[in-house]
């Protein structure tokens, strides 16, 4: 991946996700566990929907990688908990 892509993913992970999901084991994630930090992030940081969607996308990529490596139990791509988590309504519509 390009250095700029890595830097963006790394920022989203370190700033928004790691403080909220670092306590969970990969096997413990469900759609509800993914949705809860997204709600918290959008309330605490007043982010727009695009940014919260990007954060969810980073989580989805993590789960896709874990599933392809056999570290997250799944039968299909539909089992990715991040892809089914809704973007919270508390995320603003505009920047």
Q: Which domain holds residue 24?
A: 3-84
To the nearest 10°, report the CA torsion of 14, 36, 74, 5: -30
In a domain, residue 52? The reply is: yes
How many domains, the chain? 1
Residue 5 burial by Cβ neighbours in a 10 Å radius (0-12, 13-18, 19+)? exposed
**Which tens digits make up the pLDDT trace of 25-69?**
888 888 999 999 999 998 898 888 999 999 999 999 989 888 888
Question: CA–CA distance from 34 to each of 31, 41, 42, 94 (Å)?
Answer: 5, 11, 13, 23
- What's the predicted TM-score (pTM) here? 0.84
Cα 73 to Cα 20: distance, rounded to the nearest angstrom: 22
In a domain, residue 78? The reply is: yes
């Amino acid at each position: 991946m390009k250095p700029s892509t890595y830097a963006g993913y790394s920022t989203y992970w370190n700033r928004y996700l790691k403080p909220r999901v670092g306590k969970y084991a990969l096997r413990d994630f469900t759609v509800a566990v993914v949705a809860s930090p997204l709600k918290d992030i959008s309330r605490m940081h007043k982010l727009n929907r695009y940014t919260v969607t990007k954060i969810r996308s980073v989580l989805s990529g993590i789960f896709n990688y874990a599933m392809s490596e056999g570290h997250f139990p799944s039968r299909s791509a539909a089992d990715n908990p991040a892809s089914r988590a809704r973007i919270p309504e508390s995320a603003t519509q505009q920047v």
